[in-house]
A and B are shown apart, each in its own frame.
Chain A
Amino acid sequence: MRADLEIIQQWIPENSRVLDLGCGDGELLAWLREHKNVSGYGLEIDPDKINACIEKGVNVVEQNLDLGLGNFASNSFDVVVMTQALQVVHYPDRILQEMLRVGRTCIITFPNFGHWRCRWYLATRGRMPVSDFMPYTWYNTPNIHFCTFKDFEALCSEMQMQVLDRLAVDNQHRDHLGSKLWPNLLGEIGIYRVTRNPVKIA
């Protein structure tokens, strides 16, 4: 399984109901169904990825995340997952709000634009960073909303989200001492587990 999914699955309880936003080829949902008796649905817009889900027998719904999650009832899922999609949606704050409404907990992963390599690239070349991991140039990238870990956490507190777990890993999804000590500098990918602030609900 993809390394980030291996980490995420540990945060998903058995027999739970999961909604996976931008579910790709359905790998996570297929694994969770197999190993943790998890039921769920994936949302995806790429026809080839949708087809891969169908071949795996994963429930997949063709739906554009930018149009929101209005078709899902509040509190209707135990966990709402969104891996590597925060940076491609038009309104990251709105989708986060929707995730928190629909799910009891949410798991989000995204690339850290504050990683030292990005900073170094921008500082020395004066141009938008391009790497193997993020191979697009500014004009053709699907990634339209980059942020750093600090940015994300600022948004979390602004939206009164509670961060339950946080992991900063490298692009092989390994965590090491460096990314633990200086996540915003040495972590390449952030994996967050968040929930609504209970105060806000009341």
Chain B
Amino acid sequence: MSRVFPEDSVGLVRPETAHFSEPLRLACGRLLDEYELVYETYGTLNEARSNAVLICHALSGHHHAAGYHSEDDRKPGWWDACIGPGKPIDTNRFFVVSLNNLGGCNGSTGPASPNPATGKPYGADFPMMTVRDWVNSQAQLADRLGIRQWAAVIGGSLGGMQALQWSIDYPDRVRYCVAIAAAPRLSAQNIAFNEVARQAIISDPDFHDGHFLEHDTLPRRGLKLARMVGHITYLSDDAMGQKFGRELKTEQLNFDVNNVEFQVESYLRYQGEEFSTRFDANTYLIMTKALDYFDPAAAHGGNLAQTFAHVSASYYLISFTTDWRFSPARSQEIANALIAAGKDVSYVDIDAPYGHDAFLIPHPRYLQAFSSYMNRIEI
């Protein structure tokens, strides 16, 4: 018996792979001679090729944004709340492209891929990536798919930064830029959290300077710690309080550091462990570095308004009141710069309790505000 997927789901989807043999010049100065990008598409590209939307993923995301890979899949793609027929990114109207970024660990060329020079996995030899590099590689994919101009480039968090970078680097190839829970650059505190995560990984004896695959091992403990720290920054104090409070795992305190006592500890350990088995440690380092490096205004003496002076996209910025990782003030910085540059921009601040993770959660006002904007995009 075949499974019936919800009506507003894109249903069964299959990833595809695009191979590129034209070298990609990276911000770090190195060349990536050839690479592969894994991607999925939902909906149909119209004849005018004017309805294509690019989804950019966040730190631990990938190409599987919506639908199911098999009938047995328990969970749909990571942004299924927002992509599908009748959803904010309506696949009845839009042709949606979602890829795994270079340096990732879900199929696109990354640190676990074989290095053509050695035949062994790249490991730590995989070049550091920047948001700009990703955008350049995504532009290659757009060319391959015959998409000259995106109706919209959309992303949350690090994905939002890619959307912004697209509008800056390829102004004539983006009509609408939707950056959700994003920031124009990381704060010292943001970088500090990333550095703790990186140190957790690097100091794991199983890391082997990034060549753990050659040693047939994984730096699980380090990656677990990195994820635990990261995860705290994705949730709000309120959300954690409501979910766990000071609830105990056992009946009483056992005055013991070896066992889990509070529910929140149990949750974090579970999240960390689950992550440490599915994610590549080198990819985690690359992703956090790309976040740290992102600063499009740096080329303009820190002047963000000047950075946007030449852009032609219309912008939509969404923040969440309880997000303290990239707080509403960070989205407001972007909005203010765009206003100073005289560009079209709308900004909404959604009162949602979930912290930074809110961009993944189907909160009613968020969905409505997102849909209203997407619906007005002419295709």
Contacts and interface: CB of A to CB of B under 8 A. Distances in A.
Nearest to B374: A54
Given A17-B342, A55-B375, A55-B376, A50 B348 contact: yes
A9 interface: no
Interface string B56-77: 0000000000000000000000
A59 B335 CA distance: 11
Contacts of B138: none
Interface string A38-52: 010100000100110
B332 interface: yes
B346 A54 contact: yes
A26 to B, nearest CB: 10
Contact of B369 (A39, A54, A71, A76): A54
B340 interface: yes
By secondary structure, the A interface counts as mixed
Contacts of A72: 336, 339
Interface centre among B340, B347, B373, B375 (most CB of A within 10 A): B347
B196 to A, nearest CB: 32
B368 interface: yes
A52 to B, nearest CB: 9
A73 interface: yes
A62 B348 contact: yes
Nearest to A45: B349
Interface in B187-234: none
A78 to B, nearest CB: 12
Contacts of B373: 54
B365 interface: yes
A54 B339 contact: no
A57 B346 CA distance: 9
Nearest to A64: B349
Given A50-B348, A61-B346, A71-B332, A55 B372 contact: yes
A59 B369 contact: no
A12 interface: no
Contacts of B376: 54-57
A32 interface: no
Interface string B325-344: 00000001001100110101
A21 interface: no
Interface residues of B, number: 19
A60 interface: yes
B186 interface: no
B345 interface: yes
A58 B369 CA distance: 13
Nearest to B345: A59
Given A55-B375, A72-B339, A73-B340, A61 B365 contact: no
Interface string A72-83: 110010000000
A117 to B, nearest CB: 38
A73 B368 CA distance: 31
Contacts of A50: 348, 369
A62 B349 contact: yes
A153 to B, nearest CB: 32
A59 B346 contact: yes
A50 B346 CA distance: 9
Contacts of B372: 51, 54-55
Given A62-B348, A62-B349, A41 B369 contact: no
Contacts of A51: 368-369, 372
A62 B342 contact: no
Contacts of B368: 51
Given A51-B372, A62-B347, 11 more contacts: A39-B342, A53-B346, A54-B346, A54-B372, A54-B373, A56-B376, A57-B376, A62-B348, A71-B332, A71-B336, A76-B340
Closest 3 pairs between A and B when the two form their complex, measured CB to CB: A54-B372, A71-B336, A61-B347
Interface of B: 332, 335-336, 339-340, 342, 344-349, 365, 368-369, 372-373, 375-376
11 contacts: A17-B342, A39-B342, A47-B365, A50-B348, A55-B372, A60-B347, A61-B345, A61-B346, A61-B347, A62-B347, A72-B339
Interface of A: 17, 39, 41, 47, 50-51, 53-62, 71-73, 76
